[in-house]
Chains A and B, each alone.
Chain A
Amino acid sequence: MTPREVLMRKVAAADFALFDLHLYLDTHAFDRQAMEIFERYRTKAEMLRREYEESYGPISLGTAAGAEWLKDPWPWDTEGSYRNV
């Protein structure tokens, strides 16, 4: 994996942990310890997202400044599709 892919995987992992805790808290709202872990992963996911976006550009439209997504290459412009974006 490239450094970019490694970092994107970390973002995905932190987001996934955050979402799974969110599901758990739906039925365990009184679990204070889980709420603390949820907050920790929220911070972690935010930090990783910022780190990724500083190096490689926006992940979602919400954080896109200007017209970043119009920059070349587009996914179909490169061989091996999304791996080279």
Chain B
Amino acid sequence: MMDSSKSCYPGLNRYDTYDRVSPSHIMTPLPDDATVTMAYVPFQLDTEIYDDMKALEEGTLFPILNKPFLGSGMRR
């Protein structure tokens, strides 16, 4: 038996590739077994996308990753 906890995706067996429809059913932004003092990047679950012309303008296909960083908070 394959131990699914060995996969880099919690709840996902490494042989599950393409067998699942959507990550949001099984994924969480952070692993269940997150350990202390280690840094984690929250996993992207939102898969909404722009159309391609808008994506080229914004610099990303994914609205959830569109962070313009205008820096207005620091300006005088």
Contacts and interface: CB of A to CB of B under 8 A. Distances in A.
Contacts, number: 57
B7 to A, nearest CB: 10
Interface in B29-58: 43-44, 47, 49, 52-53, 55-56
Interface residues of B, number: 21
B52 A41 contact: yes
Interface in A2-39: 9-10, 12-14, 16-17, 20-21, 24, 27-35, 37
B60 interface: yes
Interface centre among A9, A10, A13, A21 (most CB of B within 10 A): A13
B76 interface: no
Interface string B1-25: 0000000010010001111111100
Contacts of B17: 29-30
A20 B23 contact: no
Interface residues of A, number: 22
A10 B49 CA distance: 17
A16 B61 CA distance: 8
A20 to B, nearest CB: 4
Interface string A40-68: 01001000000000000000000000000
Contact of B20 (A24, A27, A32, A37): A32
Contact of A28 (B23, B49, B56, B60): B23
Nearest to B12: A30
B44 A16 contact: no
